[in-house]
Amino acid sequence: MTNTQFDWAKTRQLNWVQLVAAFGIPSAIAFTGFHAVLPLLHANGMPAIVAWPIVASVMLLGFTLAPLWLMNKEARELGINLRSRMCLKPLDRRQWLFASGILVVGLVVAGGTGGLNTVWSEFSGLSAPDHFPFFLDPTIDPISVLPSDLTPGFRLKGAYWLIGLMVVTLLLNILVEELYFRAWLLPKMFGLGAAAWVVNGVAFALYHTFQLWLLPQLIPLSLFMAFVVYKTRSIWPAFVFHFLVNSLNVIAIAYLVIS
């Protein structure tokens, strides 16, 4: 009978070179997609609000399949089932309360550091380029800007299909970031001890080389989510939290499409 318990200490650990590659390769692919392919599509007339989720979804699909294949292979080697290796460990009420409390604190901290995005942008010279959609530009307030100015060359109102496209992108984004960076990678950093979640959180934030102007918010969110997964040995709280936070962008777009 297959054992359902996943002991993080028994999984093969990655050395520093492998860890740099594990974070660096997806980052390089994403950077190429968002800063080479995306601007090309935008320059050829595709609106950023459409081009961005298309490019993101294509890349994210590959990033989703990769960790599933890797974890399935490792699950067989360890004699456990895939669900266990995916860190889909069920949690009791006390664990959920603990995780929820930590993540809410993380959200509050990230909300506070979000005000530093503009300062960081001015200091670093990093900012959202024109080929990125409005919801990734912290200098744009969707409430005070006309919909026509949010998506130049594209009429949001009535574009119901865009909601579906954004939902697909949202789900793939969550699957990639939870399955690859936390379910697959974090256990393979267990040998670093208590520093594992810190290194994972910071490296995950830096993986976003394609939108480093959001770094002040990315770092605390990444750290808190890595800490929760490290402590609970489960990605469920981070997955749910990630879904709720990212859903805000879809809800905002849905509102603009429907209203």
169-200 pLDDT, tens per residue?
A: 999 999 999 999 999 999 999 999 999 999 99
Domain ranges, ordered by start, for the chain: 15-258
122-143 pLDDT, tens per residue?
A: 999 999 999 999 999 988 888 8
236-252 in b/e form (b: 16+ CB < 10 A) is bbbbbbbeebbeebbeb
DSSP 80: B
The type of residue at 90 is P
Residue 109 pLDDT > 90, yes or no? yes
Q: What whole-number percentage of the chain has pLDDT above 90?
A: 86
First CA to last CA distance, the chain:
55
Q: What are phi and psi of 3, to 5 degrees?
A: -70, 140
Rounded to two decimals, the pTM is: 0.94
User: CB burial class (10 A; 0-12, 13-18, 19+) of residue 146?
Assistant: exposed
Q: Map residue 216 onto helix, strand or coil.
A: helix
CB–CB of 187/67 below 8 Å?
A: no
Can you say how many angstroms the Cα of residue 245 is from the centroid of all Cα atoms in its chain? 11
Can you say how many angstroms the Cα of residue 134 is from the centroid of all Cα atoms in its chain? 18
User: pLDDT at position 1, please?
Assistant: 42
